[in-house]
Structure 1
Amino acid sequence: DEALIGDLMALMPGRDWTLTFRRAFDGLGDWRQRWLDRAGAGAEARVHAGNPGVIPRNHQVEEALEAATDGDMAPFFVLLAAVTDPFGPEAGRESYVLPPHEGLTPYVTFCGT
């Protein structure tokens, strides 16, 4: 288990953690098969059930807050609807599933994450 976890950590830089876990490690090649062999039957269902597809990403929360501050509550309610069902299907909610696009300045929270 220690080697499997260590190898995963080596593969993670530059990857979106939420999507990597949500999508049951798709795209990790040999590592994914090693994980499936180790985790056993039902592993994909378990990892999918324990990792939300929709999370309130910092840039989306900030956009909703800015709009609300300007008197437009619509973006807030759209975001609220998306995050209310975080384990639901991703189809139709891709903008709340995917990480920020490359051109967006990295968002730094108050706590530094």
Structure 2
Amino acid sequence: MLEMQASGFEGPIPSTLSVLSNMKYLVISDLSGESSVFPDLSNMKNMQTLMLRSCNMTGSIPEYISNMTSLQVLDLSFNRLKGSIPNLDNLLGLATIYLTSNWLTGLPEWITNRDSR
């Protein structure tokens, strides 16, 4: 577990964070400083809560998020992410997604067709 909210730290989020492959809870918010691309978190397949809110991230949401099969909460709001939302339909436990205040395009079909689970 790592939580740093409104800490006064500057970004970017180091990609070396990905070596913490057993991490289940990552919450980082309100980073100041230069903008950066989405960090490489591809080794963090056990993630249950991933919140990178207001971290000055640019680029797109990486496809590898769909490999985080235990993910329940995804909050990438208040960044400058663009492009489409990747297919996260196989993340059956994903109950909450926050993507507010980004530059994302469209609402994917997997969201509109998702059942009430």
TM-score by length of 1: 0.20
Structure number with larger C-alpha Rg? 1
- In terms of fraction of residues, the more helix-rich structure is 1
Which structure has more relative contact order (CA 8 Å, sep 6+)? It is: 1
Q: TM-score with structure 2 length normalisation?
A: 0.20
The structure with more strand, counted as a fraction of residues: 2
